């Protein structure tokens, strides 16, 4: 058996089409979304992300501005700058580019982004809405994973889901989003591997999601026949970008599997645009 390849392209295109329609509607009502990306110092990998972000916004017709701040800015100065952006009525969405300079408390600073302008869903209030089962502005990657699973048409009710990775913006929110659809969710992490239990958990997953950042951590033979495999990981291996799952062997067992690159990534970008529209609506209702 060879699994269907779940490329993000189709789902991403559909989301972008919906965003375009919604954008036209809110522009007619006088709301003009503007996304501000705050970049502290320079970072080549976040620059790539920034350029893509700008291009996507421009193509869609969403204003995008990058605010470059000096690398030696203090934490309180950065928070003050965020507060300024929170108050600026022309700004409807804020992204704080990571990484921040060493020593800065990322979570503390993210918590100062106004929840209504928090297009990446990293403010504790937005993460809290997921716990309530009422996601408003949830982390883009977590939503992208959910969209991919939905695109298979599989009913989540009672399904055995194994989420490998428990980060605040991927693993934990994905687990919460799926448990609210009554999936049976198990979260694995480094402790699971250290106890030698990862293979055992992965083998019974009807839906497997992996967000770790270790090339080929998940062996192809561990994949349950007919399962859905969503690989969030991005790793460089011998000058190639690969995921956390051994794709070639895994696809022989999976029913559906995402490639890396080209799976989760394109949907994450589309979801960011959708969140930008939601944020613009929320801020204009203030």
Annotated binding residues, as ranges?
165-167, 190, 234
Binding-site string for ligand NAD from residue 198 to residue 217, where x marks contact by CB under 6 A and - marks none = x------------xxxx--x
CA angle centred on 123, ends 106 and 8, rounded to 5°: 95
State how far the alpha carbon of 151 is from the alpha carbons of 7, 11, 281, in Å: 10, 7, 26
Q: How far is the CB of 41 from ligand NAD (least distance, A)?
A: 20
Q: How far is the CB of 37 from ligand NAD (least distance, A)?
A: 16
User: Interface with ligand NAD includes 265 (CB under 6 A)?
Assistant: yes
State how far the alpha carbon of 14 is from the alpha carbons of 23, 221, 274, in Å: 14, 33, 11
Cα(148)–Cα(144) distance, rounded to whole angstroms?
6
> Smaller CB distance to ligand NAD: residue 67 or 214?
214
User: Interface with ligand NAD includes 234 (CB under 6 A)?
Assistant: yes
CA angle centred on 268, ends 138 and 159, rounded to 5°: 70
Cα(77)–Cα(250) distance, rounded to whole angstroms?
48
Binding-site string for ligand NAD from residue 65 to residue 104, where x marks contact by CB under 6 A and - marks none = ----------------------------------------
Beta strands in the chain (DSSP E): 4-5, 34-40, 63-69, 93-96, 160-164, 184-188, 207-210, 228-231, 235-237, 240-242, 256-257
Return the residue of 166, 216, 251, 253 that touches ligand NAD, per CB under 6 A: 166
Cα(50)–Cα(100) distance, rounded to whole angstroms?
14
Q: How far is the CB of 89 from ligand NAD (least distance, A)?
A: 30
Binding residues for NADP(+): 165-167, 190, 234
How many chain residues interact with ligand NAD (CB under 6 A)? Answer: 25
Q: Where are the alpha helices (DSSP H) in 152-235?
A: 171-179, 190-194, 198-203
User: Residue 284 corresponds to which tokens in the numbers above?
Assistant: 């204009």
> Smaller CB distance to ligand NAD: residue 85 or 223?
223
Question: Dihedrals φ, ψ of 207, to 5°?
Answer: -130, 120
Cα(61)–Cα(89) distance, rounded to whole angstroms?
19
Binding-site string for ligand NAD from residue 140 to residue 159, where x marks contact by CB under 6 A and - marks none = -x------------------
User: Interface with ligand NAD includes 189 (CB under 6 A)?
Assistant: yes
Q: In this chain, which residue has its C-beta nearest to ligand NAD?
A: 213
- Among the listed ranges 52-60, 75-83, 98-106, 226-234, the one in contact with ligand NAD (CB under 6 A) is 226-234
By CB under 6 A, name the binding residues for ligand NAD. Answer: 141, 164-167, 170-171, 188-190, 192-193, 198, 211-214, 217, 232-235, 264-265, 268
């Amino acid at each position: 058996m060879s699994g269907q390849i779940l490329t993000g392209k189709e789902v991403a295109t559909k989301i972008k089409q919906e965003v375009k329609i919604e954008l036209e509607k809110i522009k007619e009502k006088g709301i003009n979304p503007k996304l501000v990306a705050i970049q502290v110092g320079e970072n080549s990998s976040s620059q790539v992300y920034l350029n893509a972000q700008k291009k996507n916004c421009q193509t869609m017709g969403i204003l995008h501005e990058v605010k470059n701040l000096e690398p030696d800015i203090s934490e309180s100065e950065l928070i003050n700058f965020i507060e300024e952006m929170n108050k600026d009525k022309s700004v409807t969405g804020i992204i704080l580019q990571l990484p921040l300079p060493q020593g800065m408390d990322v979570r503390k600073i993210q918590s100062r982004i106004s929840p209504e302008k928090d297009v990446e869903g990293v403010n504790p209030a937005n993460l809290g809405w997921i716990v309530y089962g009422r996601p408003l502005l949830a982390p883009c990657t977590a939503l992208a994973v959910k969209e991919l699973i939905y695109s298979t048409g599989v009913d989540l009710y009672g399904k055995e889901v194994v989420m490998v990775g428990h980060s605040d913006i991927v693993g934990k929110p994905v687990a919460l989003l799926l448990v609210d659809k009554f999936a049976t969710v198990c979260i694995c992490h480094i402790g699971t591997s250290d106890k030698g239990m990862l293979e055992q958990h992965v083998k019974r997953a009807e839906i497997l999601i992996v967000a770790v950042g270790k090339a080929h951590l998940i062996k192809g033979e561990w994949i349950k026949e007919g399962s859905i495999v969503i690989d969030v990981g991005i790793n460089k291996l011998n000058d190639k970008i690969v995921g956390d799952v051994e794709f070639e062997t895994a696809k022989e067992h999976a029913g559906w599997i995402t490639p890396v690159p080209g799976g989760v990534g394109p949907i994450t970008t589309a979801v960011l645009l959708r969140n930008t529209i939601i944020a613009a609506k929320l801020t204009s209702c203030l």
